[in-house]
Structure formats: structure tokens, C-alpha cells
């Protein structure tokens, strides 16, 4: 093994990327305690595990078998980051602690996210702590989608929640799904982008659903909310506004692209609903993650400073740039020892490399590189820009430290977040 690393990726390494960056999603799930963050995460791992391991979700018996096995094993997510796959996308879920006491840790994890799912309880709506987490996500400019959970509960009120998201969180809710029924009659959603119904087929696990034309009795409501969705989109995009004012129609792909762009603008949030506990709406939530939350490429570059703090340094999100990463969590693993979870911003690192920790002014050697899945950990040879990776073997690196190429030092943590500037003309 090399003792010092190559400063930049070789052509071979650049060509060796298996997962294209535009199909990577680094996301967090943020919620008020009890809103259903754990249940939602578990269901996400369940459905992504099913599709990854046995293919199509609609294969009845295979799904049941798989779910039985999972139940026996008891899926638990204890890791700081978990990787799963959905529709040819790699989704890295980064754990965001849910308690107020961990505010600093929440901020640290916000820092490495490209997007988040904000989970709300359809009965209690926006609660004080949801506001705190929301502000933190604002501060770190994390694009979000909202999942109004627990639609099966007595007292569930989707529209009140949407109203609170607008008023209490100062967001522009772009409702892309309307519930069909609620409480024990919660049977599906109207997909306002495709203008069709998504109806669960009543099996206990909700793993099957069907897309159908919107029934006559719901057409007027669907039309009304489709109009509101287009208005929200038009508000966030000048060209869309022009088109809207001219009374032109929006195609499905165009509308999707506009929602995606809007989501990157922070105030604009797509809103979906479901019941994680009853396995309703989790698959369409995953579709929305892939469809609307940004990839690492949507963040053009990361900004850092030189070690003396004098000079700003920009690093593009690319394997060809010098390596830079931020450690966001250090855990002790019973099998591997110290695991340092890092977000790689630029360049590549390989097992055996020596890297610089400019924050502590020390060199560290990469023992192993690991990707964590719900039920296994996988050794990998190389980690690349945009990746979330667990490094084994680091001795003195702590949460918040930068790791970078020895010959190209940069400090990421001292990054200054621009406060929104309100200019008065
Ligand atoms: P967390 O604290 O946000 O992680 O919330 P949990 O996922 O632990 O959920 C809190 C409680 O709400 C648990 O008792 C769950 O079973 C329950 N729960 C979660 N999702 C739903 C749902 O969709 N419907 C109902 N009725 N209960 C739910």
C-alpha cells in the first residue's frame, strides 16, 4: 500500500465509478419526537431491501416471505448512515438525532445532507420542536419534502397540517398528493403531478398499490389542488410564471423538473402524506426522494478556507478534484473499533491512503472503508465525491474535523454560512 496518496484520481478511478453522482441522494429524516421518524426509516429500509434483494415489489408471496424474515431478524437502524437503493438510485440516509438536547449534533448532520424528509404527525401537526429542526435545516439550506404521517389516526387532518407548514414554518407548501379519505378510511392518494389515483390494495403490508384514473367524485378537488400546485411552482420560477399567466398547460416531465428546481430553492416544499405504520405511502415517498431531492451534483461546490484561514477555497463536486471530506460522527463499533463517518465532498480516497487532518494538523491513515447497509457492512476500496463512508482506523479525528489531500489542504468546518441578506433599495 502507498504511504502517501495520489493527489488526484487516476483516469481509471474516474472511469471506475459505478453509481453515477446524479443518482445519489444524501438525505436525513427530521421529525418531532413521536412523529414517526423511526417507523418511516424502517419502512424505507424494508421496501428498498425488498426491491434490492428480490426485485419488483408487486411479487406477492416473495414480499411476504422477505417481510417475515426481516421481522424475525428485526430491522434496526443504529448506524449513523445507512445506504439503500431505490429505482437505480443510491440513497444514503444520515441519522439526524431527534431530541432538542442534541441540537449541535443535529446541526452537524444537517451540514452533510443534500436533502431531507420532514415527517409530521397528521394529528398534532407542526409542533414547537418541528420548528426548531426546520430552522436548522433553513440555516444549512437543506432542501426538503414534507411527509404528513399517521393519516390513519383518529383526528388526522392533512389540510390543517399544510396550513401550519405555510404559517408556522413560512414555507411554500407544494401539495403533490391529496389524501383519499382519512383515519380508518384512508385508502390512497391523488397524485397531482400525474393526475391519477394511487390506491393501496388493502393487504396488511400495503406493499401493493394500483394507479387508477381519478374517480368522478374527486375530480373537482383534484383540479383545484392541481391549480394550487401550478401556482406554487409559478411563484418559484419566472419562466413558469410567464407560462402560467399565459394560461398554458404543463407537461408531466416539465412539472416534475419545475418541482425539483423549486425544492432546491428552500422555501418551496413538496408535501406528501401516508401512514408509515400501515405501510401506506412509503413507496411514493421514496419516488419523491429520487424525483425531487437534489443529488450531490446539484451542489456545485463546497467552500472552505486555507489552513491559516486567510483564503477561500472552492472545491467542485468531482472525483477529479483534490480529496476533501468532513467527519460528522464518530462511533465505536463492537466489531471494527472506531468508525469515523465522513461525507466526501471532492476527490477520491482509497483504503491505505494517508490523508491530512488540517483541523488537528495531523496525518491519518485510512484502515478500511465501509459502506453501512441496514443488515450488513460492506468493505469498499474507494470512496468518491458525494459519498458517505465510514472509515476504520483513524486515531485522532473527531466530529467536525476536515480530512483532505496532504498536498492540497483545505478546512471545511470553518465555512461561514451566508445569512440571508435583505437589501433595501
Ligand atoms: P419517532 O420518535 O419519530 O422515531 O417515532 P416512531 O417511529 O417511534 O413512532 C412513534 C409512535 O407512533 C410509535 O408508537 C409508532 O408505532 C407510531 N406510529 C408511527 N407511524 C404511525 C402511523 O403512520 N400511524 C399510526 N397510527 N401510528 C404510527
Q: What share of the chain has pLDDT > 70, as a percent?
A: 84
Q: CB of 282 within 8 A of CB of 44?
A: yes
**List of residues 6+ apart from 166 with CB closer than 8 A:** 172, 173
The answer to whether the annotation marks 89 as part of a ligand binding site is no
What is the mean predicted confidence (pLDDT) over 292-316?
A: 90
Phi and psi, residue 231, nearest 5° = -60, -45
| Per-residue model confidence (pLDDT) at position 51 | 58
Which tens digit of pLDDT belongs to each residue from 348-380? 999 999 999 999 999 999 999 999 887 678 899
Distances (CA, A) of 211 to 198, 216, 419: 5, 15, 44
* Pick from 271, 280, 120, 282: nearest CA to 186: 280
- Determine if ligand 1 sits within 6 Å of the CB of residue 36: yes
What's the pLDDT band for 31 if we cut at 50, 70, 90? confident
DSSP string, 195-263: TEEEEE---TT---EEEEPPPHHHHHHHHHHHHHHHHHHHHH-HHHHHHHHTT----HHHHHHHHHHHH
Closest residue (by CA) to atom 19 of ligand 1? 36
38 Cα: distance to centroid of ligand 1 (angstroms): 7
31 Cα: distance to centroid of ligand 1 (angstroms): 11
| Per-residue model confidence (pLDDT) at position 65 | 58
What's the pLDDT band for 227 if we cut at 50, 70, 90? very high
- Report H helices in 91-169: 103-111, 128-139, 158-169
Residue 105 predicted with pLDDT over 90: no
- Determine if ligand 1 sits within 6 Å of the CB of residue 31: yes
Closest residue (by CA) to atom 2 of ligand 1? 34
Please tell me what DSSP assigns to residue 404. E
149 Cα: distance to centroid of ligand 1 (angstroms): 8
- Determine if ligand 1 sits within 6 Å of the CB of residue 276: yes
Q: Which of 30, 35, 36 to mutate to test the pocket of ligand 1 (most atoms within 8 A of CB)?
A: 36
202 Cα: distance to centroid of ligand 1 (angstroms): 20
The answer to whether the annotation marks 32 as part of a ligand binding site is yes
Cα–Cα distance measured from residue 304 to residue 410, given in angstroms and rounded to the nearest whole number: 6
Q: Which of 45, 277, 279, 282 to mutate to test the pocket of ligand 1 (most atoms within 8 A of CB)?
A: 277
- Where do we find the cell 411563484? 235
What's the pLDDT band for 423 if we cut at 50, 70, 90? very low
Please report the ipTM that was assigned to this predicted complex.
0.99
For residues 357 and 69, which has the higher predicted lDDT (pLDDT)? 357
Please identify, by atom number, the ligand 1 atom nearest to the C-alpha of residue 32: 3
Please tell me what DSSP assigns to residue 316. E
| 276-295: b (≥16 Cβ within 10 Å) or e | bbbbbbbbbbbebbebbbbb
Q: CB of 20 within 8 A of CB of 422?
A: no
Q: Which of 39, 46, 273, 274 to mutate to test the pocket of ligand 1 (most atoms within 8 A of CB)?
A: 39
* pTM attached to this predicted model: 0.89
For residues 26 and 400, which has the higher predicted lDDT (pLDDT)? 26
Which tens digit of pLDDT belongs to each residue from 46-64? 888 865 555 444 444 555 5
The answer to whether the annotation marks 157 as part of a ligand binding site is no
- Determine if ligand 1 sits within 6 Å of the CB of residue 129: no
- Where do we find the cell 418511516? 40
Cα–Cα distance measured from residue 13 to residue 187, given in angstroms and rounded to the nearest whole number: 48
Closest residue (by CA) to atom 16 of ligand 1? 277
| Per-residue model confidence (pLDDT) at position 313 | 94
Amino acid at each position: 500500500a502507498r504511504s502517501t496518496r495520489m493527489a488526484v484520481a487516476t483516469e481509471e478511478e474516474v472511469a471506475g465509478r459505478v453509481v453515477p453522482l446524479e443518482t445519489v441522494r444524501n438525505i436525513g429524516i427530521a421529525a418531532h419526537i413521536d412523529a414517526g421518524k423511526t417507523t418511516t426509516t424502517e419502512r424505507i429500509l424494508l421496501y428498498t431491501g425488498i426491491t434490492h434483494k428480490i426485485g419488483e415489489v408487486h411479487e406477492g408471496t416473495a414480499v411476504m416471505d422477505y417481510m417475515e424474515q426481516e421481522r424475525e431478524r428485526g430491522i434496526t437502524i443504529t448506524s449513523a448512515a445507512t445506504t439503500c437503493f431505490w429505482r437505480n438510485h443510491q440513497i444514503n440516509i444520515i441519522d439526524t438525532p431527534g431530541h432538542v438536547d442534541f441540537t449541535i449534533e443535529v446541526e452537524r448532520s444537517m451540514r452533510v445532507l443534500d436533502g431531507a424528509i420532514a415527517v409530521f404527525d397528521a394529528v398534532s401537526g407542526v409542533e414547537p420542536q418541528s420548528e426548531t429542526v426546520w430552522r436548522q435545516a433553513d440555516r444549512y439550506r437543506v432542501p426538503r419534502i414534507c411527509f404528513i404521517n399517521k393519516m390513519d389516526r383518529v383526528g388526522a387532518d392533512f389540510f390543517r397540517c399544510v396550513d401550519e407548514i405555510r404559517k408556522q414554518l413560512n414555507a411554500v407548501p407544494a401539495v403533490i398528493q391529496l389524501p383519499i379519505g382519512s383515519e380508518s378510511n384512508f385508502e390512497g392518494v391523488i397524485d397531482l403531478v400525474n393526475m391519477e389515483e394511487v390506491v393501496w390494495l388493502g393487504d396488511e403490508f400495503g406493499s401493493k398499490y394500483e394507479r387508477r384514473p381519478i374517480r368522478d367524485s374527486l375530480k373537482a378537488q383534484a383540479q383545484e389542488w392541481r391549480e394550487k400546485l401550478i401556482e406554487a411552482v409559478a411563484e418559484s420560477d419566472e419562466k413558469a410564471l410567464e407560462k402560467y399567466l399565459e394560461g398554458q398547460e404543463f407537461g408531466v416531465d416539465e412539472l416534475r423538473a419545475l418541482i425539483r428546481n423549486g425544492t432546491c430553492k428552500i422555501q418551496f416544499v413538496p408535501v406528501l402524506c401516508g401512514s408509515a405504520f400501515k405501510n401506506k405511502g412509503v413507496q411514493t415517498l421514496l419516488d419523491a426522494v429520487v424525483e425531487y431531492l437534489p443529488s450531490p451534483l446539484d451542489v456545485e461546490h463546497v467552500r472552505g478556507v486555507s489552513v491559516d484561514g486567510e483564503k477561500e477555497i472552492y472545491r467542485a463536486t468531482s472525483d477529479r478534484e483534490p480529496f476533501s471530506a468532513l467527519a460528522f460522527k464518530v462511533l465505536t463499533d463492537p466489531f471494527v473499533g472506531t468508525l469515523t463517518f465522513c461525507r466526501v465532498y471532492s476527490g477520491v480516497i482509497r483504503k491505505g491512503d494517508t490523508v491530512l487532518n488540517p483541523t488537528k494538523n495531523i496525518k491519518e491513515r485510512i484502515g478500511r472503508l465501509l459502506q453501512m447497509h441496514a443488515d450488513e457492512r460492506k468493505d469498499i476500496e474507494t470512496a468518491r465525491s458525494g459519498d458517505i463512508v465510514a472509515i476504520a482506523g483513524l486515531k485522532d479525528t473527531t466530529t467536525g474535523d476536515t480530512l483532505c489531500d496532504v498536498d492540497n489542504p483545505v478546512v471545511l468546518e470553518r465555512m461561514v454560512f451566508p445569512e440571508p441578506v435583505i437589501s433595501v433599495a
